[in-house]
Amino acid sequence: MKKAFWGLAAALLLLPAGCAPGEERVAMQGLCFVEENGTVLLIEEEHNEPIVLQNRSGDSALFEGLSCGDRIEVLTDGAIRESYPAQMDAWGVTLLEEGALSDLPQDTLDSLADLNWLPREDG
């Protein structure tokens, strides 16, 4: 009985360590939208929904070099905060393919423009 109790106690102590918030990361892919003030959004491709990316990596250059229409992969914990646009933490970003503003869905661009979210003019 004592062995079973201590085994269960040890398992319960180890369980929270493996499930700490923010410890698991998932990758999400989509198109990049860079707002004129430098804010970066991921345009989720299934529903063309914009998601504002919050840099949690500690690297101030995380979003450097990204342009509107680029295909990117974002390393996140998968949690999406419900607002419009939605928000998500990013711990890493990988450029998969360069793109152009014309690669973004026009209805999404229109929705963002209605909220005064305008694309950055790159060069």
Q: Give the tens place of pLDDT for each residue, 13-39.
A: 333 333 445 468 999 999 999 999 999
Instruction: Assign a CATH topology to domain 24-114.
Output: OB fold (Dihydrolipoamide Acetyltransferase, E2P) (2.40.50)
Question: Looking at the predicted structure, is the pLDDT value of residue 8 above 60?
Answer: no
Eight-state DSSP code of residue 44: E
Mean pLDDT of 74-96: 95
> pTM for this structure?
0.79
Residue 73 vs residues 19, 20, 86: alpha-carbon distances, Å: 24, 23, 17
Specify whether the CB–CB gap between 71 and 56 falls below 8 A: no
Question: Looking at the predicted structure, is the pLDDT value of residue 56 above 90?
Answer: yes
Specify whether the CB–CB gap between 102 and 70 falls below 8 A: no
Tokens of 7: 């085994």
In this prediction, residue 122 has a pLDDT band, given cuts at 50, 70 and 90, of: confident
